[in-house]
């Protein structure tokens, strides 16, 4: 009973951080509206405030406190900068994928067309960098390098759409740039902000990288297994031709007729084929192996911060890591 009560208390504390982040973002949007930015604010707010998990900014706030930071207002602009830039990339992703739903609401291009969606994403990039630009040059340079790698990974992913020759190395190169890299960059930025040694900065970078890899792997699993909390239809990645690790491992492991059937189902995918694809992935061992990889990445992440003395913020950081794992339990 005590452990259950502790877990509930931890979740409530995590939610308190989410509320602070949402309040900061809401105030930021209102300030822009008061300054006359008009429709771009409304479109940005539509997706920015649509109920994202806020894993990235929560991770930065908690890492800041874990490393001894005392003034959460010092790090809040940095934490929300990463969230806003992430949201900008989602808007641009949705244009490329012609997605209809994001976070349970219509995508920006569905509301206002492609041109307005492109401008909205660009505007959010500027707002995010405006917040990040308040910090020292080393942090700004780190953010710029991260965004550059994100763009390169996006292009690489486009090259591999519907490409069954995509390798597992290709997959990891893409998700390291798109998803895990920003996790890693944000954690390292917080270490820089709190004046940590290079050793600690590197450990926080590695921690974020491993956590981000696990996070993306879980997302890819849930696209096949299903989770209403994703805010988008199940099977959407397959429909868009994205070669996720569960698919790649299934293609690699299956033989003869089973492999041929999986390739045909992927190439001519319809949502009603999803259960058959899931069945084939299960018998290939792909689903179980991806779950094993999630655990390995999370355990690697946790080992990176073992040296940090126990404190409440560290326990909250570990709670976030466990949340990543629990999303498919």
For the segment 160-169, what is each residue's pLDDT rounded down to a tens digit? 999 999 999 9
3 in a domain, yes or no?
Answer: no
In-domain check, residue 21: yes
The CATH number of whichever domain residue 128 belongs to comes to 1.10.600.10
Closest C-alpha to 252, from 164, 169, 326, 184: 164
133 lies in a domain?
yes
Domain span including residue 46: 8-326
Q: Tell me, what's the pLDDT at 52?
A: 79
Considering the entire predicted model, what is its pTM?
0.92
Closest CA to 73 of 126, 20, 31, 141: 20
pLDDT digits (tens, 9 = 90+) for 273-314: 999 999 999 999 999 999 999 999 999 999 999 999 999 999
How high is the pLDDT of residue 230?
Answer: 54
Beta strands in the chain (DSSP E): 101-102, 105-106
pLDDT above 70: residue 149: yes
Which residues have CB under 8 Å from 229's CB, separation 6+? Answer: 327
- Provide CB contacts within 8 A for 264, sequence distance 6+: none
Q: What gap in Å lies between CA 223 and CA 240, rounded to an integer? A: 12
Any domain includes 79: yes
Q: Give 309's DSSP letter.
A: P
Which pLDDT score is estimated for 7? 52
Residue 1 lies inside a defined structural domain of this protein: no
Please name which of 95, 82, 90 lies closest in space to residue 54, comparing C-alpha atoms. Answer: 82
Angle between helices 114-132 and 137-159 (to 10 degrees): 150
Which is more confidently placed, 228 or 159?
Answer: 159
- Convert the pLDDT of each residue in 160-218 to its tens digit: 999 999 999 999 999 999 999 999 999 999 999 999 999 999 999 999 999 999 999 99
Query: Over 60: is that where the pLDDT of 317 sits?
Result: yes
pLDDT tens per residue, range 6-17 = 554 566 788 899
List pLDDT tens digits, range 214-254: 999 999 999 999 865 555 678 989 999 999 999 999 999 99
**Residues 33, 38, 39, CA angle at the centre, nearest 5°?**
125
- In tens, the pLDDT along 37-46 reads 999 999 999 9
Does residue 5 register a pLDDT over 70? no
Q: Establish if 322 belongs to a structural domain.
A: yes
- Domain count within the chain: 1
Contact yes or no for 228/329 (Cβ under 8 A): no
- The pLDDT assigned to 266 comes to 95
Distance (Å, whole) CA 285 – CA 250: 7
Establish if 2 belongs to a structural domain.
no
Structure tokens of 233?
Answer: 């239809």
Residues near 104 by Cβ (< 8 Å), separated by ≥ 6? Answer: 50, 51, 231, 232
d(CA 59, CA 316): 9
């Amino acid at each position: 009973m005590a452990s259950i009560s502790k877990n509930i208390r931890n979740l409530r504390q995590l939610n308190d951080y989410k509320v602070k982040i949402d309040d900061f973002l809401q105030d930021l949007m209102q300030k822009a509206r008061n300054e006359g930015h008009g429709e771009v604010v409304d479109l940005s707010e539509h997706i920015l405030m649509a109920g994202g998990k806020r894993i990235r900014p929560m991770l930065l706030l908690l890492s800041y406190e874990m490393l001894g930071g005392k003034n959460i207002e010092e790090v809040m602009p940095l934490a929300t900068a990463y969230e806003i830039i992430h949201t900008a990339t989602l808007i641009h992703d949705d244009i490329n994928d012609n997605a209809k739903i994001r976070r349970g609401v219509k995508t920006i291009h569905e509301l206002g067309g492609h041109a307005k969606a492109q401008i909205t994403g660009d505007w959010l990039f500027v707002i995010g960098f405006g917040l990040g630009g308040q910090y020292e040059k080393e942090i700004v340079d780190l953010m710029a390098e991260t965004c550059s790698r994100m763009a390169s990974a996006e292009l690489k992913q486009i090259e591999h759409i519907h490409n069954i020759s995509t390798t597992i190395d290709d997959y990891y190169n893409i998700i390291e740039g798109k998803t895990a890299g920003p996790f890693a960059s944000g954690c390292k930025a917080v270490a820089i902000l709190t004046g940590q040694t290079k050793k600690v900065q590197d450990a926080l970078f590695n921690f974020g990288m491993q956590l981000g890899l696990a996070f993306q792997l879980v997302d890819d699993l849930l696209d096949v297994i299903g989770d209403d909390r994703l805010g988008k239809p199940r099977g959407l990645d397959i429909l868009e031709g994205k070669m996720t690790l569960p698919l790649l491992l299934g293609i690699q492991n299956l033989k003869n007729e089973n492999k041929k059937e999986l390739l045909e189902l992927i190439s001519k995918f319809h949502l009603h084929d999803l259960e058959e694809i899931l069945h084939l992935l299960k018998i290939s061992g792909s689903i179980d192996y991806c779950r094993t990889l999630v655990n390995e990445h999370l355990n690697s992440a946790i080992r990176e911060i073992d040296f940090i003395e126990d404190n409440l913020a560290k326990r909250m950081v570990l709670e976030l890591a466990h949340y990543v794992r629990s999303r498919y339990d």
